[in-house]
Amino acid sequence: MATEVRPETSLADGRASAYEQLLAYGRERGYKLDWLAPRETFGTRVDAARDGGGLLLQDVDSGPFAQVPEWSYNLTGRPRGSLTRANAPKVGNYSVRTKSDIWLKNAAQLYEEAVQRQWSSAIDIPWETLEELPDEIERAECQLATFLTEVEFVAGDVPGKWISETTPDYYEPRMFLISQIMDEARHLDVFRKRALANGGGLLMQTSNAALAGGAIDSARDFTEMSARLHISGEGLVLSIFRMGERMSYNDAEKAIYRLAASDESRHVAFGVMHLQYLAQTDPARREEIHSYLDEIELGLVGGAGGQNPATRGTPSNAALAILLGGGSDAGSIEEGSRIALAVRQRQVKEYIQRVKVAGIGDRFENGRANAALAQYLSA
């Protein structure tokens, strides 16, 4: 009886390669072992000793695994860099298959930061510091929390559509958007908790026009959505979060705004870096980008020309003035409105800076930008 040849014995057999031995072993027994063919990268190791920083996505992607195609034909869910299989079924009809439509240079870094900085609204907020507040302050807190809960719902809902539309070859921005949805879910739950935790409750819904969710939802491609959501919407909310210390009445509220601002800054950075990449690699689309910013700025300057944005329009604006001024009497409202105008000025300045970093700053030099922006800057 012939002695059976096993793979482990063939490795020491100098008469044939280990792969050839394994193929023969498989064929004799009806197995298809072509996948065992060693690739050119086989044996490449990554140094995981990073001063405690761990093993990051950008550390392991090299060679064929780091090659991002300008155009992707991958509709099968195949991981980027893996070998194709002719009979693999299509699992998605991805509309985002052009690199410039979604790419940015630091998506992997932003994703790694996102997963490392996750926090819990249940245990990382010192809820025990909530104390009874004057009625008008509590109502203002709850109205603002109601508004921010709505905002975060839109900010989490919209990116989800584009995750399923993006080919796996561009997995880094896909994974970041997944982390953003987790961030927004946490923001939604933390502002809901604030509205309900201190005896106030959820108050009046804000109009869709104020939320601008409709315009974001109706975006025709990823770049338009990102410009409306990340550059404008999330940027404006980030400015409010950064003022959170000024309008907080306890350590719980301070922690909420501080942690939410940390998350929001990543989302804004994603949009800025994507717009920058697109402007650099596909300059033919610059006019298209300018058209998005034209529409964004129409909403951004609403209330310019002497009207005070803090006490006009939505209940959330009035709530902001009450919180910043410390009360609902005329003097407090006036002081809060003055500070709210400073917040609005900051929003405009930070918007302009984001657009400049994205490489579209020429609109502020050639007269393309909305002239009413200057009214906020000079107020």
Cα–Cα distance measured from residue 56 to residue 277, given in angstroms and rounded to the nearest whole number: 22
List pLDDT tens digits, range 172-202: 999 999 999 999 999 999 999 999 999 999 9
Q: Residues with Cβ < 8 Å from 30, sequence gap 6 or more?
A: none
Lowest mean pLDDT across 216-225, 243-252, 258-267, 344-353: 216-225
DSSP code for 199: S
pLDDT at 13 over 70: no
CB-based contact 323:337 (threshold 8 Å):
no
Cα–Cα distance measured from residue 187 to residue 263, given in angstroms and rounded to the nearest whole number: 9
* Type of residue found at 12: A
- 3-class secondary structure, 2: coil
Per-residue confidence band for 99, with pLDDT thresholds at 50, 70 and 90: very high
Q: Where in the chain is the domain with CATH 1.10.620.20?
A: 99-377
CATH superfamily to which 99-377 belongs: Ribonucleotide Reductase, subunit A (1.10.620.20)
pLDDT at 235 over 50: yes
In percent, the amount of the chain with pLDDT more than 70 equals 89
User: pTM of the predicted model, to two decimals?
Assistant: 0.88
pLDDT at 209 over 50: no
Average model confidence (pLDDT) across the chain? 87
Cα–Cα distance measured from residue 335 to residue 101, given in angstroms and rounded to the nearest whole number: 45
pLDDT mean over 87-94: 90
